[in-house]
Amino acid sequence: MEKIEYAAMDVSYILDSLNEQQRNAVASPAQSLLVLAGAGSGKTRVLVHRIAWLLQAEHVSPFSVLAVTFTNKAAREMRGRIEELMEQSFGGMWVGTFHGLAHRLLRSHWQEAGLPEDFHILDADDQLRLIKRINRTLQIDEERWPAKQCQWYINSQKDEGLRADNIEHFDDDYTRTMLDIYKAYEEACDRGGMIDFGEILLRAHELWLKNPQILQHYQQRFQYVLVDEFQDTNTIQYAWLRVLAGAGNQLMVVGDDDQSIYGWRGARIENIQQFGSDFPDSDIVRLEQNYRSTSNILNAANKLIAHNQGRLGKNLWTDGAEGELISLYEAFNEQDEARFIVDRLQDWLNGGNRRSDAAILYRSNAQSRELEEALLRVGMPYRIYGGHRFYERLEIKNALSYLRLLVNRHDDTAVERIINVPTRGIGGKTIDTIRQVAREHNCSLWQACVEAVNQTLLSSRASNAVLAFLQLIDEMSKACEPLELHEKAAYIVKHSGLVQHHEKEGGEKARARIENLEELITATSSFDDPGMDEEEIDVSASTFLAAFLDQASLDAGDTQAEESEDAVQLMTLHSAKGLEFQLVFLTGLEEGLFPHKMSMDNLAGLEEERRLCYVGITRAKNKLYMSYAESRRMHGDVNLCRPSRFIKEVPNELVEEVRLKTTINRSHMPSRGGVALGHKSAHGAEVPETQISLGQRVAHGKFGEGVVLNYEGQGSNARVQVNFDAVGSKWLVMSYAKLEVLG
Ligand code: ATP
Ligand code: MG
List of E strands, 197-337: 224-227, 250-255, 283-287, 326-333
675 near 718, Cβ under 8 Å?
Answer: yes
In whole angstroms, how far apart are CA 453 and each of 382, 433, 462, 470, 720?
A: 47, 11, 9, 10, 51
* pLDDT for residue 667: 29
* pLDDT for residue 525: 78
684 near 667, Cβ under 8 Å?
Answer: no
pLDDT exceeds 50 at position 683 = no
Q: For residue 63, what are the contacts with CB-CB under 8 A and spacing of at least 6?
A: 92, 93, 221
Q: How confident is the model at residue 1 (pLDDT cuts 50, 70, 90)?
A: very low
> Percent helix, strand, coil in the chain (nearest 5)?
50, 20, 30
pLDDT (tens digit, 9 = 90+) per residue, 271-316?
A: 888 898 899 889 999 999 999 999 999 999 999 999 999 788 887 8
pLDDT (tens digit, 9 = 90+) per residue, 428-483?
A: 899 989 988 988 888 888 999 999 999 989 999 999 999 999 999 999 999 998 88
Predicted TM-score of the model (pTM): 0.72
Q: What percentage of the chain exceeds 70 in pLDDT?
A: 87
Q: In whole angstroms, what separates CA 260 from the centre of its chain?
A: 16
Neighbouring residues of the ion ligand 2, judged by CB less than 5 Å: 43-44, 578
pLDDT exceeds 70 at position 555 = no
* pLDDT for residue 710: 73
pLDDT (tens digit, 9 = 90+) per residue, 42-77?
A: 999 999 999 999 999 999 999 999 999 887 778 888
Atom of ligand 1 nearest to the CA of 287: 6
Biggest CA–CA distance in the chain, Å, is: 95
pLDDT exceeds 90 at position 343 = yes
Task: For residue 13, report the distance from its CA to the centre of ligand 1, in Å.
Answer: 17
Task: For residue 42, report the distance from its CA to the centre of ligand 1, in Å.
Answer: 3
* pLDDT for residue 394: 83
For residues 529 and 128, give the distance between their C-alpha atoms in angstroms, rounded to a whole number: 40
User: If you take atom 14 of ligand 1, which residue's CA is the nearest one?
Assistant: 40
Beta pairing class for 674-680 and 250-255: unpaired
Q: In whole angstroms, what separates CA 140 from the centre of its chain?
A: 33
Helices (H), 587-723: 597-600, 603-617, 645-648, 660-663
Best probe residue, ligand 1, of 41, 45, 51, 582 (max atoms within 8 Å of C-beta): 45
pLDDT (tens digit, 9 = 90+) per residue, 164-201?
A: 998 888 889 999 999 999 999 998 888 778 888 889 99
157 near 186, Cβ under 8 Å?
Answer: no
Which amino acid does the sequence have at 455? Q
For residues 722 and 696, give the distance between their C-alpha atoms in angstroms, rounded to a whole number: 9
Ligand nearest to the CA of 289: 1
Q: Is 291 in the pocket of ligand 1 (CB under 6 A)?
A: yes
pLDDT (tens digit, 9 = 90+) per residue, 714-736?
A: 555 567 778 888 877 777 777 77
User: What count of residues does the chain have?
Assistant: 743
For residues 670 and 597, give the distance between their C-alpha atoms in angstroms, rounded to a whole number: 38
Give the three-class secondary structure for 394. Answer: helix
486 near 470, Cβ under 8 Å?
Answer: no
For residues 690 and 679, give the distance between their C-alpha atoms in angstroms, rounded to a whole number: 10
Instruction: Write phi, then psi, for 526 (nearest 5 degrees).
Output: -85, -20
Q: How confident is the model at residue 484 (pLDDT cuts 50, 70, 90)?
A: confident
* pLDDT for residue 206: 95
For residues 628 and 337, give the distance between their C-alpha atoms in angstroms, rounded to a whole number: 7
Better pLDDT: 618 or 689: 618
For residues 239 and 268, give the distance between their C-alpha atoms in angstroms, rounded to a whole number: 12
Better pLDDT: 19 or 166: 19
Task: For residue 46, report the distance from its CA to the centre of ligand 2, in Å.
Answer: 9
- Please state the rounded mean pLDDT for residues 100-115: 90
For residues 213 and 235, give the distance between their C-alpha atoms in angstroms, rounded to a whole number: 24
* pLDDT for residue 384: 84
252 near 225, Cβ under 8 Å?
Answer: yes
Q: Is 644 in the pocket of ligand 1 (CB under 6 A)?
A: no
User: If you take atom 31 of ligand 1, which residue's CA is the nearest one?
Assistant: 291
Average pLDDT, the chain: 84
Atom of ligand 1 nearest to the CA of 47: 11
Burial of 339-375, coded b for 16+ CB within 10 Å and e otherwise, reads: bbbbbbbeebbeeebebbbbbbbbbbbbbbbbbbbbb
Best probe residue, ligand 1, of 34, 292, 573 (max atoms within 8 Å of C-beta): 292
Q: Which residues are catalytic?
A: 43-44, 228-229, 259, 619
Q: Is 582 in the pocket of ligand 1 (CB under 6 A)?
A: no
For residues 554 and 694, give the distance between their C-alpha atoms in angstroms, rounded to a whole number: 30
pLDDT (tens digit, 9 = 90+) per residue, 214-252?
A: 999 999 999 999 999 999 999 999 999 999 998 689 999
- Cis status of the peptide bond prior to 422, with omega within 30 of 0: yes
Task: For residue 291, report the distance from its CA to the centre of ligand 1, in Å.
Answer: 6
Atom of ligand 1 nearest to the CA of 19: 27
Q: How confident is the model at residue 417 (pLDDT cuts 50, 70, 90)?
A: confident
Which amino acid does the sequence have at 575? S
* pLDDT for residue 448: 94
Q: For residue 725, what are the contacts with CB-CB under 8 A and spacing of at least 6?
A: 704, 705, 706
Task: For residue 357, report the distance from its CA to the centre of ligand 2, in Å.
Answer: 17
CA terminus-to-terminus distance, the chain: 86
For residues 413 and 434, give the distance between their C-alpha atoms in angstroms, rounded to a whole number: 13
Q: How large is the C-alpha radius of gyration of the chain?
A: 29
